[in-house]
């Protein structure tokens, strides 16, 4: 789980945008910049908008952890607008 010191740096989202609702496979394109968490192992990565997620061999899962799937947990404000 990600850490923070000062919660005034975070905005609560209503989660209605598509990028909050989907899981993304290895090497697919990140819809927005932010912190993404793997469904199977809870590992977190940062990814920039339009960059590909890490390839399938980025890390290994046990059989019970299933496929690597990335989910957006924190969207970063790269435009400084919020």
Torsion of CA 40, 43, 12, 82, to 10 degrees: -130
Cβ proximity to Zn ion, 32 vs 41, nearer residue: 41
Assess 72 for contact with Zn ion (CB under 5 A): no
Q: x-or-dash pattern for Zn ion, window 17-56, by CB under 5 A?
A: ---------------------x-xx-x-------------
Cα gap 5→63, rounded to integer Å = 35
Asked if 71 and 41 touch (Cβ cutoff 8 Å), the reply is no
Binding site for Zn ion (CB under 5 A): 38, 40-41, 43, 68
């Amino acid at each position: 789980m990600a850490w923070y010191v000062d919660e005034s740096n975070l905005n609560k989202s209503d989660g209605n945008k598509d990028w909050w609702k989907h899981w993304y496979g290895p090497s697919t394109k990140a819809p927005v910049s932010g912190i993404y968490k793997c469904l199977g192992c809870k590992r977190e990565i940062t990814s920039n908008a339009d960059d590909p997620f890490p390839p399938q061999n980025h890390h290994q899962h046990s059989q019970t952890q299933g496929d690597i799937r990335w989910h957006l947990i924190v969207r970063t404000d790269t435009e400084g607008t919020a």
